[in-house]
């Protein structure tokens, strides 16, 4: 399973990338706002750090404008995936831009039928939002499972990019279900390394080691 990092924080991306933990990056208008940076500048900088797909989202609502914005974003670097919302205009944009050879990430997906449409429109990635479904007492992981089954039934090549990941358990469950990619904030990726028994065990080993009076270096 590939790990994308869900942020426009260049420092956080570089740190995780140095560890080999970043197969790609996803951004959205809220993350650009949080970064305080210009979208074109920060996206270009991210594309210089990460060789995998970097999603940059259009903000127009009509297909013609979305297509123009998508072409401009795609011109930033060859590894840009143009991110479009799962609306009818977004699907039109997906069809046109994927036909021109660009990677397209269809975002804000909350149902299996939406995911089916995105695959038929030629999406490279579909982004079902798990956490936001959980927030309204629906099961985001059920959606990942449904999309996996549907895509496998018909051999769709669109990759399932599980998004709105809030916990380490979301990552594990997505891996078990067979999502192709998870995109998670840096804090969640770092949290994958934590276990209370690791901390406890290390504390015990350090205490016993001190009692030996030995040194390795
Ligand atoms: C995905 O591409 C989105 O940027 C992101 O995962 C949304 O997550 P949120 O629901 O935590 O804002």
**Going by C-beta distance under 8 Å and a sequence separation of 6 or more, which residues neighbour residue 168?**
188, 191, 192, 194
Kindly state the tokens that stand for 142.
Answer: 């059920």
Q: With a 6 A CB cut-off, is 190 part of the ligand 1 pocket?
A: no
**Locate tokens 């123009």: which residue?**
68
Q: Contact at 8 Å (CB) between 160 and 180?
A: yes
DSSP 124: S
Q: What is the pLDDT of residue 119?
A: 98
Q: Are 147 and 91 in contact (CB under 8 A)?
A: no
- Per-residue pLDDT at 81: 98
CA angle (190, 8, 151) in 5-degree steps: 75
Number of domains in the chain: 1
**3-state class of 214 per DSSP?**
coil
69 inside domain: yes
User: In angstroms, what CA-CA distances link 147 with 109, 161, 164, 170, 180?
Assistant: 11, 11, 16, 16, 11
- Segments forming the whole domain that contains residue 175: 2-212
| 93 C-beta closer than 6 A to ligand 1 | no
Q: What is the pLDDT of residue 139?
A: 95
Tell me what pLDDT residue 26 has.
98
CATH of the domain at 195: 3.20.20.70
Q: Decide if 13 is inside a domain.
A: yes
Of 34, 44, 62, 83, the active-site residue reads: 83
Active site residue 83: yes
The answer to whether position 217 is within a domain reads no
CA of 163 to the centre of ligand 1 (A): 5
Whether 66 and 121 have beta carbons less than 8 Å apart is answered as no
Residue 117 token pair:
């449409």
Mean of the pLDDT values across residues 200-205? 98
Q: Full-prediction pTM beyond 0.75?
A: yes
What average pLDDT score do residues 10-24 get?
97
Residue nearest to atom 5 of ligand 1 (CA): 164
Using CA of residue 71, residue 48, residue 14, residue 161, what is the dihedral sign? positive
CB 146 within 8 A of CB 175: no
Q: What is the mean pLDDT of the chain?
A: 98
Q: What is the mean pLDDT of residues 37-53?
A: 98
Model pLDDT, residue 77: 98
Distance CA 22, CA 169 (A): 19
pLDDT tens figures, 164-193: 999 999 999 999 999 999 999 999 999 999
How much of the chain, in percent, has pLDDT values that exceed 70?
100
Ligand 1 atom with least separation from CA of 107: 2
């Amino acid at each position: 399973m590939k790990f994308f990092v869900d942020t426009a924080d260049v420092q956080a991306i570089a740190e995780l990338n140095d560890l080999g933990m970043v197969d790609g990056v996803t951004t959205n208008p809220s993350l650009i706002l949080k970064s305080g940076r210009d979208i074109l500048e920060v996206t270009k900088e991210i594309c210089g750090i990460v060789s995998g797909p970097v999603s940059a989202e259009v903000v127009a609502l009509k297909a013609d404008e979305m297509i123009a914005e998508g072409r401009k974003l795609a011109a930033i670097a060859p590894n840009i995936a143009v991110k479009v919302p799962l609306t009818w205009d977004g699907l039109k944009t997906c069809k046109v831009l994927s036909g021109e050879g660009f990677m397209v990430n269809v975002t804000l997906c909350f149902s299996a039928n939406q995911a089916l449409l995105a695959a038929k429109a030629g999406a490279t990635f579909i982004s079902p939002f798990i956490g936001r479904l959980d927030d309204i007492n629906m099961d985001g992981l059920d959606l990942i499972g449904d999309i996996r089954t549907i895509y496998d039934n018909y051999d769709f090549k669109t990759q399932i990019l599980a998004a709105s990941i809030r916990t380490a358990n979301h990552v594990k469950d997505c891996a078990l279900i067979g999502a192709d990619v998870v995109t998670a904030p840096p804090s969640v990726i770092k949290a994958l390394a934590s276990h209370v028994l690791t901390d406890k065990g290390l504390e015990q080993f350090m205490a016993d080691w001190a009692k030996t009076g030995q040194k390795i270096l």
